[in-house]
Amino acid sequence: MEHATDTTESVARSADQDQNQDQDQVNDYDGFAEAYAAETENSLVNAYYERPAMLALAGDVSGRRILDAGCGSGPLAAALRDRGAAVTGIDASTGMLALARRRLGDDADLRVADLRDPLPFTDGAFDDVVASLVLHYLEDWGPTLAELRRVLRPGGRLIASVDHPFVAYTFQDPRPDYFATTSYAFEWRFHGQSVPMRFWRKPLHAMTDAFTTAGFRVCAISEPQPDPAARELFPDGFHDLSTKPCFLFFVVEVPPSAAGSD
């Protein structure tokens, strides 16, 4: 998978475009669900870096009720379930959820839900929420984080990975305005298929501010290394991934004292 183009747009211009342009024209996971799942199942970045990092941050999940927000085809949900968690998966894409269903079976709790909308769960329903590589699809994290906090019990954790906000400074020329929240568009290429995507980048402080404004306490900001087992499998990519920022990981917690304080 590669980013073919990368176009920085201002928030105002993108907001207009979002209103005027059919949202389905970008980020159409239904249209490339199989290709995305196949590409990321055993890739260096996903299988030897992102997922191991999320699992390490989650630690012992045995007996925990976990919401996988933006679960995609369910690789993280499967790994968490293997470790003894009771996992619910939500995703906006029915195509991705169909793959998750195939992986996790008919009994799995999988639901179509858009993270920009209210979530179909009661207050305090989960011990943890995991959100792998999904928050950067959202311009405004506020409503989403408020909902994720609501469905977590006091003391519950949100563990999230996003595009590292410094990545643009690693490879983009000209560099974007670091302090602005901007969308950027590019084409993902999968085996001859070209897929238009749009993500949102924010500065680090905007991310931590969004967590604390939603009532979370930031417990960890992590920049993990890839799994050493990948060194021989992906020698070139391993060096790149070991020396350049790629994703940023957060563990944020609902303060235990927040019980009944809403």
Ligand X SMILES: C[S@@+](CC[C@H](N)C(=O)[O-])C[C@H]1O[C@@H](n2cnc3c(N)ncnc32)[C@H](O)[C@@H]1O
Among 6, 28, 34, 114, contact with ligand X (rule: CB under 6 A): 114
**Residues 21 to 60 in contact with ligand X, rule: CB under 6 A:** 29, 40
Q: Could you say which residues in the range 170-189 bind ligand X, by CB under 6 A? A: none
- Residue 121: C-alpha distances to residues 89, 100, 139, 224 (Å): 12, 20, 23, 32
CA 30 – CA 260 distance, rounded (Å): 39
Query: Minimal CA–CA distance to 225: which of 3, 92, 45?
Result: 45
Alpha-carbon separation of residue 129 from 38, 39, 224, 253 (angstroms): 24, 25, 19, 10
Among the residue ranges 57-65, 129-137, 184-192, 225-233, the one whose residues contact ligand X (CB under 6 A) = 129-137
Q: What is the DSSP string of 45-109?
A: HIIIIIHHHHHHHH---TT-EEEEET-TT-HHHHHHHHTT-EEEEEES-HHHHHHHHHHH-TTSE
List the interface residues with ligand X, window 138-167 (CB under 6 A). Answer: none
Query: Of 60-99, which residues contact ligand X (CB under 6 A)?
Result: 70-72, 75-76, 91-93, 96
| Residue showing the smallest CB distance to ligand X in the complex | 72
Map residues 200-219 to x or -, x wherever contact with ligand X holds by CB under 6 A.
--------------------
Rounded least distance, CB 71 to ligand X, Å: 6
Stretch that binds ligand X, among 13-21, 131-139, 176-184, 240-248 (CB under 6 A): 131-139
**Minimal distance in Å, beta carbon 80 to ligand X?**
12
Asked if 132 is part of the footprint of ligand X (rule: CB under 6 A), the reply reads yes
Q: Tokens 């209210």: give the residue.
A: 118
Among 137, 141, 199, 247, binds ligand X (CB under 6 A): 137
Q: Which is nearer to ligand X, 52 or 72 (CB)?
A: 72
